[in-house]
Chains A and B, each alone.
Chain A
């Protein structure tokens, strides 16, 4: 199984570092429309309407309307790990709880889930093993965690390429 990560455009790393972390490749989400990253309901709904491949909800809030629309349009959910790693203490504990609730709801709604660091700096990047274990801690099974870091991320990347070419 090959594993992939997605980071934000400004994140600095090289291919050798990505390989050491256990990834076949690490891709940059350059703020184009294929993967919509944010926490505003309006922005996420617009992105789903425009045919985004995936949405990443950075505050992990469960909005039933957004999730229903994502489910209906087969938009994927990308769970970003960087917001969890960036925080500390009580704030981190709250975010972890919300992320676990979001994941549970996404699986209930049969939304395909991916796990990516979406890091904006090298310090917030995680290794393949770390992404899988964080996914499991949030409630994903071993199989779902692995495919979330593997096939699901590849699907987002491929989808983004097609989306950006349109």
Chain B
């Protein structure tokens, strides 16, 4: 079986949100391509990381850009970095720290 290539996105938000609520918003924003994107919201060392398929990464970034409320509350999600592994993503994230 062919292994699906994944990408990990480091995502920051304007305010705290429930994981399930974001999953609902992503489903609404991505629509029928949800299975292609296949997003998984992870918590890595207190940071929000979303795993998705390489093929669906663009769609996920656009969805995150256009989502402006989560759980009925105003919010914003910023895609900061993308990487092929969590370790590389965390290294990139550390470089961003002041």
B74 to A: closest C-beta gap in Å: 6
A127 to B: closest C-beta gap in Å: 5
Answer whether residue A81 sits at the interface, using C-beta atoms and an 8 A cutoff: yes
Whether the pair B65, A123 counts as a contact (CB closer than 8 A) is: no
Whether the pair B68, A16 counts as a contact (CB closer than 8 A) is: no
Which residues from A are CB-within-8-Å of B82? 129
Whether the pair A86, B68 counts as a contact (CB closer than 8 A) is: yes
What is the size, in residues, of chain A's interface with B at 8 Å between Cβ atoms?
24
Whether the pair B75, A123 counts as a contact (CB closer than 8 A) is: yes
Whether the pair B79, A123 counts as a contact (CB closer than 8 A) is: no
- Which residue from B62, B76, B80, B98 sits with its C-beta under 8 Å from A125? B76
- Which residue from A21, A88, A92, A137 sits with its C-beta under 8 Å from B80? A21
Which residues from B are CB-within-8-Å of A123? 14, 68, 74-76
Answer whether residue B17 sits at the interface, using C-beta atoms and an 8 A cutoff: no
Answer whether residue B96 sits at the interface, using C-beta atoms and an 8 A cutoff: yes
State the CA gap A136–B80 with chains docked (Å): 18
Q: List which B61-82 residues lie within 8 A (CB) of chain A.
A: 61-62, 64-66, 68, 74-76, 78-82
Answer whether residue A130 sits at the interface, using C-beta atoms and an 8 A cutoff: yes
22 contacts between A and B (CB under 8 A): A19-B96, A20-B80, A21-B78, A21-B80, A85-B68, A86-B68, A88-B68, A122-B76, A123-B14, A125-B76, A125-B78, A130-B62, A130-B64, A130-B65, A130-B78, A130-B79, A131-B65, A133-B61, A133-B65, A134-B62, A134-B66, A137-B58
